[in-house]
Amino acid sequence: MDICGELVKLRAPLPEDAPFMADLISIPEVTRTLDAWAHGPYSIQHALDWINRHDPSQVNWAIDCLEDGAFIGVTGLRDLDFRDRNCEWGIWIGPPSRWNRGYGTEACRLATAFAFRELGMEKVYLKVYETIPVARRAYEKAGYRVEGTLPRDHWWEGGFTTSHLMAAYRDDPMYGGGR
């Protein structure tokens, strides 16, 4: 299911996205903010394997920029827990020339709204590294608040850094709560 905002469209990842994914994951500025999966060689085949994997505990989207139709990244919900009604949200966008334009904030809002309205989730959470304050600000604009802090949780460029757990809730007014 495609989800359109004002800046981006979230759509199903397609095999033709694989070369773009591999190219973007090869950019050091992009991978430095991602988890371990992105820190080794990442080939077109890796991207195809991810695109073709059918995991019922995940919903993934490619992110297209509406201005020019370009593929600019991936977002998704994982660890879907329908009993406890929560899941984790994640994203990556590249190249860096696409950063700080509101694409990530809008993708976050769209995916989070989908989790609440279509999947019946009560809570969507994420983890953000202290070393990426711009990401934390984007998530706060999308209605997320810090719920916990994990000191020395993530290896970052030669030392450990703190991670923050953030969450948004179904009853947040941004997502139609209180109606």
Strand residues in the chain grouped as ranges (E): 3-4, 8-11, 58-65, 71-81, 86-93, 123-129, 145-156, 159-169
- Is residue 178 scored above 60 in pLDDT? no
- In CATH, the number for domain 3-175 is 3.40.630.30
pLDDT of residue 6: 98
**Given a cut of 70, is residue 22 above it in pLDDT?**
yes
Spatial distance between the Cα atoms of 15 and 44, rounded to a whole number of angstroms: 9
φ, ψ for residue 24, nearest 5 deg:
-70, -35
Cis peptide before 151 (omega within 30 of 0): no
What integer pLDDT is reported at residue 1 of this predicted model? 77
Residue 151 pLDDT exceeds 80 = yes
87-107 per-position pLDDT tens digit: 999 999 999 999 999 999 999
Of 41 and 137, the one with more pLDDT? 137
The whole model's pTM is what?
0.92
Cβ-Cβ contacts under 8 Å for 179 (sequence gap 6 or more): none
Nearest alpha-carbon partner for 73 in 33, 45, 36: 33
pLDDT confidence of 14, banded at 50, 70, 90? very high
